[in-house]
Structure 1
Amino acid sequence: MAMQDARHSLVQNASVDLKTLSVSALYDLVAPCVVPSGSPSARFANWSRTFHCTPLVVFEPCDVEQCRLIFELAQREQRTVRIVGAGLSPSDLACTSDFMLRTSKLNKLRVVDPEKHFVVCDGGIKLEDLERELATHNLALRNLGSISMQAMGGVITTATHGTGIEFKVLGDDVLSLSLLLADGTLVYCSRHENQDLFKATLCGLGSTGLVISVQIRVEPAFQLREAQVTRPFDEILANLDDIVHQAQHVRLWWYPQNKSVRVCSANRTTAIEPEHSEPSFKSFQPAFLTHHLVEFFLFLARIWPVLAYYIARYVAWMESAPKVVVGESGSILRADCRFAQHTTEWAIPYEHAQTCLIQLRDWLETEPYSENGTYPNFPIELRFSAPDDIWLSPAYGRRTCWIGIIQFKPYGLPVRYQELFRRFEAIMSSYDGRPHWAKPHHLGPHQLRRLYPHFDDFVAVLERVDPMGMFRNENVRRHIFGERGPAIDPRLFKQHKGASDSSFYA
């Protein structure tokens, strides 16, 4: 009922027939939400500083009516509109050469219903802000990904996931959405109303419309007890299924360089235990030795690549001691991303995980010595999730093992990564791997149609709700519609175009 009330109040805000306004009148009306061209916010760079763009115009609307004006103006001027939250995607997913709409001011928590265990929030609210507000009501999200800087709209439209073999991607907890379509219509959708639009928007890459509000399931706040232990890779491989099922949330950090795996297993707890902490004089040393010193040596590894091997062994040793941490759920589920980085992540069927890991191990032992080989950084992350029914979710219809690799960018400087990622991707593809939508990959509609049974249904929804392609930026046109050419090539958005950091596809 609360969601229905919120929906009707939004619909009642619609008023003037925008078609009667001239283009100049539209420009006057959107002027208050235009970011000045001289502002740093008029340019965009993703978190890892791997992709950059300078949109034609950047808008920061405060309400639905301003969004309608922007959409009308875009249609008149035949421009696309890219909707951007926090810009965390390490690919060019958020980049555009046309209009950009930042959702930073559409960021409120609207409804809290502790009895029915849901809240309604704006699509632009950041997870970290939502978590903070939920805590004041003694509530929490059931699961989280590694970081909480993302906007809610980005979380659900890219199938952001946490870990836990019984937990689905975060978007599965969404109960309903209010969506502003390209023609300015505000539509309500759920599993019971406008189902196709709902299934398409959850992991829709922002191409169905602007997520105005989200009704999402929450729970009473809870604590997690996480045990961390380092074990030999062969032991993990032999007992993988038991390890994955030994706790509610299991995350593995694999250091191939010293053949070890850091196992992080977290369960809910009601025990009164203090959150793990160390005196400041002790905590400084690990922070210095595993961050600042490591970053410096990674910088040197750009000149002497073999150093990357020894750095990884050093970090694995530094973090090898057993540890138990107890704390509120968010503090346990989130992870430290350390430095800016290139990264790619793929989702493979869980039943292929052991075989795939063996092949990855064999490849990584020879990669640095192959033609154009690269010393891989550390660690390789493994997470797990349950099957879901979201059309383009990489976990659609199957239990999933998510495998991600990274190449750190010390001090934000370019590093080699393209061939490493290509070879990793080839192995993942051989196991029917599906790429994480927010991360770089080069699959087009021909390959994606084979991987996703509802791919054509998704495209049909896009053509119905956005026939002129107003929400199709270069990334969507490339991957979903198979377009090619210099106007949509990701190199368009690369800051460094030298041999060491050219495009992922170069």
Structure 2
Amino acid sequence: MRTIRNFGRNIEFTPANFYAPNSAEELLAILEQHRGKKIRAIGALHSWSEATHEDEVLLDMRHINEVRVEQRDGDSWAIIGAGCRIKHAIAALDRQGLSLPTLGLISEQAIAGAAGTGTHGSGRHSISHYVDEVSIAHYDPESGKAVVSRITDEEQLRTARCHLGCLGIVVSVGIRCREQYRVEEHFRLYNELQPVLDAEREYPLQQFYLAPHLWKYLAQHRRESDRPRSWLAPLYQVYWFLCIDVGLHLCLIVLARWLKRRRPIELFFRHIALATVPRNWRVVDKSPRILTMEHELFRHIEIEIFVRGDRLHEAFDFVKPFLQYAMGKSEPHEEWLTRAQELGIAEELERLRGAYVHHYPICIRKVLADDTALSMASSEELPYYAVSFISYVRPNDRAGFLLCAKVLAALTARMFAARPHWGKVCPIDHATAQELYPNLAEFREVCRRFDPEGMFTNDWARGLVFGEES
């Protein structure tokens, strides 16, 4: 037996049967062998939710990783094997002068898992939105035999794009590519949120950060550019890797794992952290070099909530005092107490005071409305903003973070209809999911067409999405 541990080391389990198929044919043979058992797939395991957990049959899709480019009606399509990591897909497409239509902050995830949980970048739709073809291995509802179905119908695609693993085992996804492009980037510091949002008109690909303890906004202004690559771009890449990807994170790890006190973290953010970021250094480089970073170098855990654009200001009016309360610096607001009573988490809210010190910049990214049934940005209206709360404390020292995440998710869902990321810490229940996702019934109906017995739906999805007890 093999013990499975995810990147964040918050999920660990030992499936009774473990396979790593090398082809779709081998995958179908495994499904035939285990008909009637619960089956789930994993990719890069770069997820913090229970979406990957399955105790009966687990399939590691790493070997089904081909990247094939086809021309269809004048468009370049990438057919990407489910287990292919995004960084490898990017490299394969770049050799042909192509790129994916959006790039997330991290490129370590497998493409099926990234699309299947609504992974996103900044300023565009999520990866799920751009998926126009999905091949799924499942049991034919009539014959019962293991088959591969190619999903292109728009109604079914709305579910298959962000599938949570509930239709079957994804074999490949098809995405229309775009030509490789360059991005310009520079940093600026702001005291208020609105000027950062106003800058989106000029910098539609920007992401920005709220520095805790300092409570100022650092904007990473980004836009596409026709200018040639900056001659200092290689130096910028070296700076970014050594000073940010490695240096800044090592400092935060020392503060979070060893010192563990609020005061040193406050001093670091007020006097040191932002001094490491050069402002108004404009650099143009190829899109993957600007839009991605090595955020996976050090183990961490994360909750990310999605707030609709017209509610972002009120959500951030909540974030600062909430984190200050968690750090023992203020009293709870009356509205929080009322909402906590309604939600049955009044005791958790009380225990949170002084139980957690936030030590990482809060990252905010705009995600355009997705044409999906269940991605976090699924909407027919306004874009969403993804707000990430990250902790670098040791895996055995996360009680304060997990308590903070639970209360944060519950209060923001009730107060601002905030949706937690499916692939990160996702401490909501089925009743909350029903309130947050108006297309949940559509998602369930399509899933049952492909998997009427629920063989590919694990306990986590059965409870959260389908409202069934384990």
TM-score (norm 2): 0.86
2:60 to 68, 77, 102: 102
1:217, 1:238 → 2: CA distance? 34
Partner of 1:226: 185
Quick check: 1:255 aligned with 2:211? yes
Quick check: 1:246 aligned with 2:202? yes
TM-superposed deviation, 1:222: 0.8
Partner of 2:359: 377
SS of the counterpart of 1:132? helix
Partner of 1:7: none
**Equivalent residues in 2 for 1:188-337 (5 A)?**
188-190=150-152, 193=153, 195-232=154-191, 234=192, 237-272=193-228, 273-278=230-235, 289-302=247-260, 304-313=261-270, 316-322=273-279, 323-337=281-295
Partner of 2:138: 181
TM-superposed deviation, 1:277: 3.7
Say if 2:78 and 2:175, in contact at 8 Å, map to a contact too: yes
Q: Deviations over 1:274-312 (max 9, x none)?
A: 25243979975667642334322322234x354333344
SS of the counterpart of 2:52? coil
Say if 2:248 and 2:273, in contact at 8 Å, map to a contact too: no
Gaps of 5+ in 1: 1-36, 489-506
Quick check: 1:70 aligned with 2:30? yes
Partner of 1:34: none
Q: Which moved more, 1:271-280 or 1:423-432?
A: 271-280
CA 1:286–1:243: 2 relative to 1, 3 Å: closer
Partner of 1:478: 463
- Aligned-residue Cα RMSD (Å) equals 2.3
Equivalent residue letter for 1:90: W
SS of the counterpart of 1:49? coil
TM-superposed deviation, 1:375: 1.0
Partner of 1:428: 412
1:459, 1:444 → 2: CA distance? 16
Equivalent residue letter for 2:372: I
2:164, 2:17 → 1: CA distance? 21
Say if 2:406 and 2:427, in contact at 8 Å, map to a contact too: no
CA 1:283–1:481: 2 relative to 1, 3 Å: closer
Partner of 1:393: 375
What number of residue pairs does the alignment pair up? 433
TM-superposed deviation, 1:460: 1.5
TM-superposed deviation, 1:238: 3.3
1:85, 1:58 → 2: CA distance? 13
Partner of 2:38: 80
1:275, 1:223 → 2: CA distance? 15
TM-superposed deviation, 1:386: 1.3
CA 1:313–1:422: 2 relative to 1, 3 Å: farther
TM-superposed deviation, 1:201: 1.3
Partner of 1:406: 390
2:69, 2:242 → 1: CA distance? 41
SS of the counterpart of 1:144? coil
TM-score (norm 1): 0.80
1:419 to 403, 424, 430: 403
SS of the counterpart of 1:239? helix
